[in-house]
């Protein structure tokens, strides 16, 4: 089975309403950085959960940041690369929130 399927699709973020132009690797909103739990393997759109995935923390360092998302429905966590089009202010806000101890810090 393929572990990654490139799926080019534009979408409207269900969390903030931003219009996002996909490039085949886009899996989260470039503005609020929220995602949607739709994949079992990246790009396959085979997961029936469909819950929104909130960004809970950041890993890595300049320039290779990774977003850790957690599904608000099933609590599944995933790791996704921070893209060039992603909002740096939102990334910094998430990092600050984590530093202040307001967000879960575990990764299953």
Q: Is 95 helix (H, G, I), strand (E, B) or coil?
A: helix
- pLDDT, residue 51, reads 97
pTM of the model: 0.84
Q: What percent of the chain has pLDDT over 70?
A: 92
What is the spatial distance between Cα 38 and Cα 12, in angstroms, rounded to a whole number? 15
Q: Which two tokens stand for residue 5?
A: 């399927």
Which DSSP category does 85 fall into? T
pLDDT score, position 61: 85
Estimate to the nearest angstrom the gap between the alpha carbon of 67 and the chain centroid: 6
Give the whole-angstrom CA distance, residue 101 versus residue 45.
Answer: 33
Mean pLDDT to the nearest integer, 18-26: 91
């Amino acid at each position: 089975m393929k572990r990654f399927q490139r799926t080019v699709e534009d979408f409207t973020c269900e969390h903030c309403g931003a219009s996002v132009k996909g490039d085949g690797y886009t899996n989260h909103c470039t503005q609020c950085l929220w995602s949607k739990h739709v994949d079992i393997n990246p790009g396959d759109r085979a997961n029936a959960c469909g819950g929104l995935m909130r960004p809970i923390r950041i890993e890595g360092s300049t320039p290779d940041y990774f977003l850790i998302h957690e599904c608000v429905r099933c609590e599944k966590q995933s790791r996704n690369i921070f893209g060039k089009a992603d909002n740096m202010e939102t990334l910094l806000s998430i990092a600050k929130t984590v530093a202040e101890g307001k967000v879960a810090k575990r990764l299953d």
